[in-house]
Structure 1
Amino acid sequence: MLTDQLRDFIDRVSDRGHVSEDDVRMLEGEILRDGITSRLEAESLLALDRIVTAAEGWGTALARLIADFVVWKRAPQGAVSNDDALWLATLLEVGGPSPNAMAIAYAILDEAGHVDVALLDFIMRGRQQARLSQIAA
């Protein structure tokens, strides 16, 4: 379930089409000061990321929020289970491995003591796609 504050934030930002630095500060400092608490919140923020432009701090904040949720607020703490890795890799794959999606995956890899292979596969596919894009350019 989304809090009213988070729902209002997502509605306001999606209507505007842009996440500002002030929005990022409000999200981290007020709306999600205790972090993401559910998959629905994570899914909603990832969906928002796909439809808006954003200030520079958005990608870093999003990666930090998602990594903290997946690594430290889900069981087992400090590791990413197969279920969570499949769920997250599927979400991050929507629309292809964007820079923010890759930053999220790397942030999780940096934080977790163990990461299931599903998330590692996503990272490898993203790196391969980036190489192919560079070759084609």
Structure 2
Amino acid sequence: MLNDRLRDFIDSVAETGRVSDADVTKLQEDILKGGIASRIEVESLLALDRAVEAAESWGRVLTKLVVDFIVWNRAPQGAVSGDDALWLSTVLEISGPSPNAMNIAYGILDAAGHVDVALLDFIMRGRQQARLSQMAA
């Protein structure tokens, strides 16, 4: 379930079309002070990430929130299960592997003791796409 305060935050930011530094601070220090609580919150924040422009601080905070949720708030702690890796890689891949999506995947890889192959496949596809884009330019 999506927390009402987070829903209001997302609606407000979507309306303006931009996540400001003040929005990021409010999200981190007030709305999600205890972290992300559900997959739907992750999906909603990632959808917002794809839909609006954002201050530089947004990517760092979004990455930390998602990494903490996947690695430390899900069982087993410190590892990413196959189910979580498949779900997250699917969500991250919507609209292609964005810089924030790739940073989240790499952040999880750095923080977790074990990561299922589904997330590693996402990273490899993202790297391949980046190489192909560079070759085409």
User: How high is the TM-score relative to the length of structure 1?
Assistant: 0.99
> What is residue 133 of structure 1 aligned with on the other side?
133
Q: Deviations over 1:37-91 (max 9, x none)?
A: 1001111001111100000000110010000000000000000000000000000
> What is residue 106 of structure 2 aligned with on the other side?
106
CA distance in 2, matches of 1:6, 1:115: 28
> What is residue 19 of structure 1 aligned with on the other side?
19
CA distance in 2, matches of 1:2, 1:87: 17
Q: Secondary structure at the match of 2:50?
A: helix
CA distance in 1, matches of 2:50, 2:19: 12
Alpha-carbon offset, residue 96 of structure 1: 0.3
Alpha-carbon offset, residue 2 of structure 1: 1.3
CA distance in 2, matches of 1:131, 1:98: 14
Alpha-carbon offset, residue 5 of structure 1: 0.7
> What is residue 53 of structure 2 aligned with on the other side?
53
CA distance in 2, matches of 1:15, 1:41: 18
> What is residue 63 of structure 2 aligned with on the other side?
63
CA distance in 2, matches of 1:101, 1:67: 11
Q: Secondary structure at the match of 1:42?
A: helix
Give aligned-pair identity as a percent.
72
Counterpart of 1:21, as a letter, is D
Provide the alpha-carbon RMSD of the alignment.
0.4
The alignment covers a number of residue pairs equal to: 137
In structure 1, stretches of 5+ residues that fail to align are none
Counterpart of 1:13, as a letter, is V
CA distance in 2, matches of 1:108, 1:61: 14
In structure 2, stretches of 5+ residues that fail to align are none
Alpha-carbon offset, residue 23 of structure 1: 0.4
User: How high is the TM-score relative to the length of structure 2?
Assistant: 0.99
Alpha-carbon offset, residue 3 of structure 1: 1.5
CA distance in 2, matches of 1:134, 1:76: 38
Alpha-carbon offset, residue 4 of structure 1: 1.3
Alpha-carbon offset, residue 97 of structure 1: 0.4
